[in-house]
Structure 1
Amino acid sequence: MNTEPVLIRSDGIKKDDDKSDNCKIDKGNIDKGNLDEEDVDKEKIDKEKIDKEKIDEKKVDKGRVVVSWTGGKDGCLACYGAILEGFEVTHLLNFREIQRRGSHDINPALLYAQAEALGIPLIHKDFISYEQEFKKAVRELRDSGEIIDGAVFGHIETHKNLVDRICRELGLELIMPLWQRSSGQIINDLTGLGFEVILLSVKADLLGKEWLGRKIDENFICDLKKHNPSIDPCGENGEFHTFVTNCPLFKNKINVTESEMVLRGGYWFLEISKLEAGKK
Structure 2
Amino acid sequence: MKVVALVSGGKDSCYAMMKSIQYGHEIVALANLMPADDSVDELDSFMYQTVGHQIIVSYAECMGLPLFRRRIQGSTRHQTLNYKTTPGDEVEDMFILLNEVKRQIPSITAVSSGAIASDYQRLRVESVCSRLGLVSLAYLWKQDQSLLLQEMISNGILAITVKVAAIGLDPAKHLGKEIAVLTAHLHKLKELYGINVCGEGGEYETLTLDCPLFINARIVLDEYQTVLHSPGSIASVGVIHPLAFHLENKDTAISLSENDKTSDSSLEKKGSVFVVQGDFPQRSEATCQSNSETTNLVEVRDDRICISKTKKDDIFSICCWLQDSCKTSAGSHEDLAVVLKHIESQLAGYGFGWEHVLYIHLYIADMNEFAAVNETYVRFITQEKCPFGVPSRSTIELPLLQVSLGRAYIEVLVANDNRKNVLHVQSISSWAPSCIGPYSQATLHKEILHMAGQLGLDPPTMRLCNGGPSAELEQALVNSEAVANVFNCSISTSAIVFTIYCSAHTPLPERFKIQEKQDSFLKQTRLLHLDKGGKCKILDPIFLYLLAPDLPKR
User: TM-score of the superposition, structure 1-length normalised?
Assistant: 0.70
Residue number in structure 2 paired with 1:236: 200
Using the alignment, how far apart are the partners of 1:200 and 1:85 within structure 2? 30
1:214 aligns with 2:177: yes
1:204 is displaced (CA, Å) by 6.3
The aligned runs of 1:52-131 (5 Å cut-off) are 63-96=1-34, 100=44, 104-127=49-72, 128=74, 129-131=89-91
> Which deviates more from structure 2 when the two are superposed, residues 159-168 or residues 103-112?
103-112
Deviation beyond 4 Å, 4+ runs, structure 1: none
Conserved? CA contact 1:90–1:120, under 8 Å: yes
Please give the root-mean-square deviation of Cα atoms over the aligned residues, in Å: 2.3
Conserved? CA contact 2:8–2:53, under 8 Å: no
Shift in CA distance, 192/205, structure 1 to aligned 2, threshold 3 Å: closer
Using the alignment, how far apart are the partners of 1:163 and 1:72 within structure 2? 17
SS in 1 for 2:142: coil
Conserved? CA contact 2:91–2:124, under 8 Å: yes
1:151 aligns with 2:107: no
Give the counterpart of 2:143 among 172, 181, 188: 181
Q: Deviations over 1:143-180 (max 9, x none)?
A: 33532201111100112222222212211111111010
Q: Deviations over 1:51-86 (max 9, x none)?
A: xxxxxxxxxxxx221111100000000011112222
Larger helix proportion of the pair: 2
1:141 is displaced (CA, Å) by 2.7
Using the alignment, how far apart are the partners of 1:82 and 1:202 within structure 2? 28
The aligned runs of 1:248-259 (5 Å cut-off) are 248-251=212-215, 252-259=217-224
Shift in CA distance, 130/67, structure 1 to aligned 2, threshold 3 Å: farther
1:238 is displaced (CA, Å) by 0.5
1:134 aligns with 2:134: no
Residue number in structure 1 paired with 2:239: 269
1:105 is displaced (CA, Å) by 2.9
Shift in CA distance, 150/230, structure 1 to aligned 2, threshold 3 Å: same
Using the alignment, how far apart are the partners of 1:156 and 1:199 within structure 2? 18
Conserved? CA contact 1:201–1:212, under 8 Å: yes
How many residues align structurally? 217
SS in 2 for 1:77: helix
Using the alignment, how far apart are the partners of 2:218 and 2:205 within structure 1? 19
User: TM-score of the superposition, structure 2-length normalised?
Assistant: 0.37
Greater relative contact order: 1 or 2 (C-alpha under 8 angstroms, separation 6 or more)? 1
Identity %: 25
SS in 1 for 2:179: coil
Using the alignment, how far apart are the partners of 1:79 and 1:195 within structure 2? 12
Using the alignment, how far apart are the partners of 2:113 and 2:97 within structure 1? 15
Conserved? CA contact 1:201–1:242, under 8 Å: yes
- Structure 1: which amino acid aligns with 2:102? R
Shift in CA distance, 173/101, structure 1 to aligned 2, threshold 3 Å: closer
- Structure 1: which amino acid aligns with 2:184? C
Using the alignment, how far apart are the partners of 2:10 and 2:52 within structure 1? 13
- Structure 2: which amino acid aligns with 1:261? T
Using the alignment, how far apart are the partners of 1:237 and 1:71 within structure 2? 17
- Structure 1: which amino acid aligns with 2:28? T
Using the alignment, how far apart are the partners of 1:236 and 1:141 within structure 2? 27
Conserved? CA contact 1:204–1:267, under 8 Å: yes
